[in-house]
Structure 1
Amino acid sequence: MKAGGNKSSWVKRGQPSQLPKEHIDWVIHPVTRFVKLEASAGLVLLLSTLLALALANSAWREPFATVWHTSVGINIGAFVFERSLHSWVNDAAMTLFFFLIALELKRELVLGELRQPRLAMLSISAALGGMLFPALVYLLLQFGEPGQHGWGTVMATDTAFVIGCLALLGRRIPKSLRIFMLSLAVVDDIGAIMVVAIGYGSEIDWFPIGLAMLGLVLIRLIGFLGVRSMPLFFLIGGLVWLAVDASGIHPTVTGVVLGLMTPTSKWVTDDRLHTIMDCVVAYPPGDHWSGDTPGRRVLKTAEAAAREALSPVERLEMLLHPWVGFVVMPLFALANAGVQLSDTQFSSSLMMAVFLGLVFGKPVGILLFSWLAVTLRIAVLPRDLSWRLILGGGALAGIGFTMALFIAELAYSPAQIHSVKLAILLASVASALFGLVLLLYLTPPAVELTAPPTGTPQRPLDRRSSEANDDEI
């Protein structure tokens, strides 16, 4: 019996080609569409930030602060493994954030636009400039001061807010700018977590590091043997996290390492998937689907094949994106963005260093290092990406919210942290407004061309004059 014949006979009988609809779909479908929007995570993060600020400056500020200092963990006899809820969010939940960032970087480098070395070098060079130049500006203003140790605070870019701002601009900006900014933010975050590991870690204990290395070798070994169980990989990854946490290195580094180790190749090819699906279609509906029958075994094989037709990187991105965007990052904002504005002494010099590092240092560093990379022929500038657009994108990169707050919690004393948090919030707002206004000015609505009427010859767009103007900074 041929699969094609059965398939056509099913269609003739009026068999549905989609899953059955239920009443809950009236709620699920709109929520699903909302989750898929690029700006959604940034919007939820913004609302969480505003809520944290409101609670920290209200009559509920003491209960709000007490919640985050509540000790949570395991206490069995002499074995005690506890930390505050604030620490669980910053150390454990944020590991998932960095794991997702590393997955996105791995996908872009192997499967995406960054697989071309010279295009990748443009984003990498820009990210280096966006980390080094702001740190230099900060150190010039804080050299010899009590806040000198916080130079890493101004090095990071908040991926969610940057992508959210770009989403607000819609089709006004070219796709190449979106790819450039996403890649820059991802590399920037990877660099920031390396700074955390090197610059803000405690004394290193090498024995737990050895255990962590053994765990990573075990992950690579079972992957080589063909083990496909995600829960097993997560279990071993959790043990590696515990070892890194005990070593004195910040445990979020684990997320970066595991993300970069995740395979990008899929187990089931498209041809094999179609062959397996044809075998499923070859079995017409009937009682033989119940029990341990050939039809049931084919159906289970098809289920596994459909899952494994995506690479582990793609599957994990799809799995973790909603949790990170709508749970982890809002929790982080609630735990860290609460700045008490009353009865607090703010350091103007420290605030100025953080503010100028992000608002001024970020765009200048990104533009300067990008230009140097192209001039030295290390990188190539895409045709539709001008220097002015890079400057506008660099201004948005000054939104350092998530990682800046993350590093600030490690770098500053309790007496300094309120000044730094307020400066980060002000700098992020200023960078967002400056970047959006600049990109709106540089990308007029006329760039969204409509298709000409049928039969009307389409006049090619003369880019020479516009490119000449755009190339002038």
Structure 2
Amino acid sequence: MSAAAPAPAPDTTTTSRSWHARLRFGTGDRAAAALLLVFTILAILWANSPWGDTYEQFWETPVEIGVGDLVLSTTLHHVVNDAVMTLFFFVVGLEVKREFTLGELTERARAVVPVIAAVAGLIVPALIFVAIAWPSGEAHAWGVVISTDTAFLLGALAIIGPKFPARLRAFLLTLAVVDDIGALLAIAMFYNTGIQVVPLVVAAVLMIVIALIRFLPAWRGLAYAVFGIALWFAIAAAGVHPTLAGVAVALLIPVFPPRRTDVERSAELSQAFRESPNAAYAAALTRSLRDSLSINDRLQAAWGPYISFLVLPLFALANAGVHLDAETLGAALASPLTWGIVAGLVVGKFVGIAGSTLLIRMTGLGRLAPGLGMPRIAGGAALSGIGFTISLFIVTLAIADPETQDLARVGVLAASVIAFALGWAIFTIADRITPPQAVGKVLARPFDPSRDHFRGRPDAPHQIVEYGDFECPFCSRATGSIDAVIEHFGDDVCWVWRHLPLEAVHSHAKEAALAYEAAAMQGRFLDMSHIMFANQDALTADDLCRYAREIGLDVDRFIEDFRSPRALHRVEEDQVDAEMMDLHSTPTFFVGGRRHVGPWDSRTLIRALEASAQPRVEPSP
């Protein structure tokens, strides 16, 4: 998650920024998985209907694209697998780039467990497959069992509906990123058609050009598209699967968190448009809003739904049409290839992910997020055996014989069904034995007037607690919301500040928190917070001392208190509480002791505070 993004709901939304994570948990995941399943069933029914011959005939329809004497001849099936699926790998690449730059994979403590589990989930299935499938002569197709289908995985999790799934979902999404990287590397290194040097050099030059596009003053989107298409042809000519051009372009596209100056500029233009609506202001505001987000974020948001609801269903329709006649099923039951795929995906993924996670916890090399225990990991590990999109994709790359491909597809489909059933059983049994508890839904440490820094009456009927970061631009914007809330309620609201310095992305946030505490020891914490929010780009130790002097503090005492164990303890105590509640984005609000979900503009916060003061009506039995 972007360090400055609004805090997600602890139990109903994800903490990952992947394109799947942008779909609302439950409805979006179920819809995407349901559509993928429908098109899979349609492909199977079509291939096994009285008109089954038309399935192969349709997808083998010749397609020619030409300009003058230059003609590219292919088939409709290859258009889907080689061209359309490039968009899928492009969005996967965007997700990978963002996770390594701003997301879960930037923080070792959070990343180590799912990363190691993902690596084990790549290696163990491949070893099991090779051991079982060796007699078939298709052991080189081990890539079929290494990848998890993220769309089906999240859809299955939404269908099963375990309580409080957000922590597990974040774990699985982080794991899926590493899983995707492994699958992409396997395709590039082991399933190419022989490397051609000259086209590869051309591809390298094109990648350098694409990396420089970010410096263009305009037309960057068009430039990415034009040179991306050129890169696709160069990689195809080099003997590497051309879909990897999508990954290459995505990794070269910049990603960055929203910048405070850009956000403030958008706010100023929005105010100007409200005061004087006209086309010029509207165009400027549109450009400002667009430019405040990285092109990575914009592309994921724009293309994610098309991938989920168009590209992947189309791929399923083109590749899941396995012949399930008695002869094929009989051959599959006796085939080491089929059983190798089933065992690799179902057993290998479960043992690799769950076993490595347990080992990491036992050795102390890593730790799970609060509220995430081994029963949940076991259920997620079982569902990770649902291999579909990339598994079927690699089937077409690794196996040449159509009949043998059908045996492999039977294994992939059977493994997916078994993995879903196993995951459902584990979640059902585990949740009945040990009912899970919500994490971060209720304020862990109640408001303490003798300890906390606050504005308003400590006995006010309305209470709002904010966990914030003085270097976070959105916390700065939230101060306006809080001011409006206090103006609305007057003495009937009490606002409490607690520290959540995001040190991984804000290098001076911890020092600013210590300065706040040092100023509080002289009774001037509000003045210090205001001046620090107004100067978020200047929060070095020298800057903080200057601010202390400007607001009239005893600077020598300020410096002493700034370095004191007391100030450090106060800040770290808030950080421990935040860690226990699994808070890792700012600002995060608790209204009436319960975590606020949704926007934090003044109107929304006022409504939430008014609702929190209403007596709770328990549902009748």
TMscore range, shorter length: 0.7 to 0.9
Q: Which residue of 2 aligns with 1:380?
A: 367
Contact 2:121 2:146 in 1 (8 A): yes
Contact 1:355 1:424 in 2 (8 A): yes
The gaps in structure 2 that reach 5 residues or longer are 1-22, 443-460, 462-621
Q: Which residue of 1 aligns with 2:82?
A: 91
- Return the structure number with greater helix share: 1
Given the alignment, which residue of 419, 422, 429 partners 2:407?
419
How far residue 170 of structure 1 moved from its aligned partner, in angstroms, is 3.7
The alignment of Structure 1 onto Structure 2 pairs a total of residues equal to 412
Distance 2:344 2:200 in 1: 34
Q: Tell whether 2:311 aligns with 1:328.
A: yes
Instruction: Give the SS at the match of 2:136.
Output: coil
Contact 2:110 2:368 in 1 (8 A): yes
**RMSD of aligned alpha carbons:** 2.5
Q: Which residue of 2 aligns with 1:314?
A: 297
Q: Which residue of 2 aligns with 1:63?
A: 54
Q: Which residue of 1 aligns with 2:247?
A: 256
Q: Tell whether 2:334 aligns with 1:350.
A: no
Q: Tell whether 2:93 aligns with 1:102.
A: yes
Distance 2:86 2:251 in 1: 13
Moved more, 57-66 or 106-115: 106-115
- The code of the aligned residue for 2:197 comes to W
The gaps in structure 1 that reach 5 residues or longer are 1-31, 290-295, 456-473
Q: Which residue of 1 aligns with 2:483?
A: none
Contact 2:62 2:73 in 1 (8 A): yes
Instruction: Give the SS at the match of 2:355.
Output: helix
Distance 1:243 1:220 in 2: 16
User: TM-score w.r.t. structure 2 length?
Assistant: 0.63
Given the alignment, which residue of 274, 282, 299 partners 1:281?
274
Q: Which residue of 1 aligns with 2:387?
A: 400
How far residue 174 of structure 1 moved from its aligned partner, in angstroms, is 3.5
How far residue 226 of structure 1 moved from its aligned partner, in angstroms, is 4.0
Distance 1:300 1:164 in 2: 39
Contact 1:128 1:369 in 2 (8 A): no
Distance 1:261 1:170 in 2: 37
Contact 1:35 1:322 in 2 (8 A): no
Q: Which residue of 2 aligns with 1:27?
A: none
Distance 1:220 1:153 in 2: 32
How far residue 35 of structure 1 moved from its aligned partner, in angstroms, is 11
1:284-315 CA-to-partner distances (Å, cap 9, x unmatched) read: x5xxx4xxxxxx33321111112222221211
Moved more, 256-265 or 206-215: 256-265
How far residue 320 of structure 1 moved from its aligned partner, in angstroms, is 0.6
Do the aligned partners of residues 443 and 263 (structure 1) sit closer, same or farther apart at CA in structure 2, a change above 3 Å counting?
A: farther
Paired residues for 1:39-188 under 5 Å: 39-76=30-67, 78-170=69-161, 172-188=163-179
User: TM-score w.r.t. structure 1 length?
Assistant: 0.81
1:57-81 CA-to-partner distances (Å, cap 9, x unmatched) read: 0012112221100111314554221
Q: What is the percentage of aligned positions where both structures have the same residue? A: 37
Distance 1:136 1:395 in 2: 18
Q: Tell whether 2:377 aligns with 1:390.
A: yes
Distance 1:219 1:279 in 2: 36
How far residue 264 of structure 1 moved from its aligned partner, in angstroms, is 1.7
Larger RCO: Structure 1 or Structure 2 (Cα < 8 Å, ≥ 6 residues apart)? 1
Distance 1:373 1:96 in 2: 36
Q: Tell whether 2:225 aligns with 1:234.
A: yes
Distance 2:435 2:111 in 1: 30
1:339-359 CA-to-partner distances (Å, cap 9, x unmatched) read: 112253434222111111111
Moved more, 335-344 or 436-445: 436-445
How far residue 278 of structure 1 moved from its aligned partner, in angstroms, is 1.9
Distance 1:69 1:34 in 2: 37
- The code of the aligned residue for 1:108 comes to E
Instruction: Give the SS at the match of 1:201.
Output: coil
Do the aligned partners of residues 188 and 35 (structure 1) sit closer, same or farther apart at CA in structure 2, a change above 3 Å counting?
A: same
